Amino acid sequence: MKQIGTGIAITGSGSATPATTLTNDGLSQIVDTSDEWIVSRTGICQRRLAVPAESLAVLAASAGREAIAMAGLEPSDLDLILLATSTPDDLFGTACLVQARLGAIQAVAFDLTAACSGFVFGLVTAAQFIRAGTYRNILLIGADVLSRWVDWSDRRTCVLFGDGAGAVVLQASDRDRLLGFELRSDGTQNSCLNLAYQPQSQSLLEDTLIGQGTFQPITMNGQEVYRFAVRQVPEVIEKALFRANLSVEQVDWLLLHQANQRILDAVATRLKIPPEKVISNLAKYGNTSAASIPLALDEEVRQGTVKPGDRIVASGFGAGLTWGAAVFEWGLK
């Protein structure tokens, strides 16, 4: 039997983006492209880019601070900080740096990597700690600084990505607001989207070789990723809704990873969800990877569009390949 107070409520949100904006017209001065070409293929008009002094930890902590305040908590109330990111400041992990910046002295902190699916995977992971009765107050942050790893001479990829952070607070509740979820992975399609390490052979001794190198810029097979998303995302959403015992018509908002407006439109069409129920802000920020879902959610919450009790189905999809969906009610404890 479930313990009393081990349901999940999502009680606060926050976001942070760098001040520097790169428009499509600006990009056209770097590569052979145009505003019309980018908008027609992606729906993106501009993206935010972190300057060298803007670390992932700074953006993540700023978003987290807003979410904590909205939830009516203090950083010292947190039991766990979970940072979903593929672009840490330190390969050993950045969540502990965020913990220190927030002054969350009671919280354990660790990173989770699932690329653009990271926030949804993180949401489900965080929920298990609450459902088990282990923790009561969790800060989940999705943050990425993909501009560090973009090939700015490749117009197929450099037009897509931006930097940012988004966060939510999950709290233990007598009623469970995470209504259903479904997670998936398929490593056979890993080559479709990569930020890969490339070793270079180095001899230490005559019979001892090691590989030392660095990570290479993002590579992507855009057509395959598009086909994958349009085929798999509606299916995983339907499975999450089935687990929640809900129909598509009972959902107030569709909140997809902000990858490409054509993907958002195609998924909504497949599910027969009207455009007015689809949350989209990628025109302003581009693809911010693990940050995109919580960043878009926070904007709608602060504008009053998403209201307490609204039912949201969120789906992330991307490198791995990974994808998943979660159905939750916003803002009621």
Catalytic residue among 24, 137, 260, 287: 287
For residue 10, name the pLDDT band (cuts at 50, 70, 90).
very high
| pLDDT of res. 233 | 97
Candidates 166, 161, 211, 155; CA nearest to 64 is 166
- Convert 159-184 to b/e letters by CB count within 10 Å (16 or more is b): bbbbbbbbbbbbbbbeebbbbbbbbb
294 close to 142: Cβ distance less than 8 angstroms: yes
Q: End-to-end distance of the chain based on CA atoms, in angstroms?
A: 20
pLDDT exceeding 90 applies to what percent of the chain? Answer: 86
pLDDT exceeding 70 applies to what percent of the chain? Answer: 98
Whose structure tokens read 């609204």?
A: 310
| pLDDT of res. 2 | 45
Q: Is the peptide bond before 254 cis (omega within 30 degrees of 0)?
A: no
Choose the weakest-confidence range: 25-34, 193-202, 229-238: 193-202
Candidates 167, 153, 79, 165; CA nearest to 122 is 167
The verdict on whether 257 is a catalytic residue reads yes
The verdict on whether 281 is a catalytic residue reads no
Rounded Cα gap, residues 260 and 251, in angstroms: 22
Domain ranges of the chain: 7-176, 180-188+219-329
How do residues 238-265 score in pLDDT, each as one tens digit?
999 999 999 999 999 999 999 999 999 9
Domain 7-176 sits in CATH 3.40.47.10: yes
Whose structure tokens read 């979660």?
A: 326
Taking the CA atoms of residue 298, residue 260, residue 218 and residue 13 in that order, the dihedral angle to the nearest 10 degrees is 10
Pairing state between β 197-205 and 80-84: unpaired
The verdict on whether 287 is a catalytic residue reads yes
For residue 3, name the pLDDT band (cuts at 50, 70, 90).
low
311 φ/ψ sector (left φ>0, alpha ψ -120 to 50, else beta): beta
How do residues 171-229 score in pLDDT, each as one tens digit?
999 999 999 999 999 999 999 998 888 888 988 888 898 888 888 999 999 889 999 99
Would 7-176 and 180-188+219-329 be classified into the same CATH topology? yes
- Convert 253-267 to b/e letters by CB count within 10 Å (16 or more is b): bbbbbbbbbebbebb
Catalytic residue among 96, 116, 158, 192: 116
For residue 295, name the pLDDT band (cuts at 50, 70, 90).
very high
User: May I ask the CATH class of domain 180-188+219-329?
Assistant: alpha beta
Catalytic residue among 24, 158, 192, 257: 257
Higher pLDDT, 104 or 198: 104
Candidates 84, 27, 21, 89; CA nearest to 58 is 89
Rounded Cα gap, residues 266 and 275, in angstroms: 11
Q: What's the whole-number average pLDDT of the chain?
A: 95
Q: Is the pLDDT of residue 5 over 70?
A: no
What is the identity of the amino acid at 244?
A
| pLDDT of res. 331 | 87
What pTM was computed for the model? 0.95
CA gyration radius for the chain?
20
Helix (H, G, I), strand (E, B) or coil at 328: strand
| pLDDT of res. 4 | 52
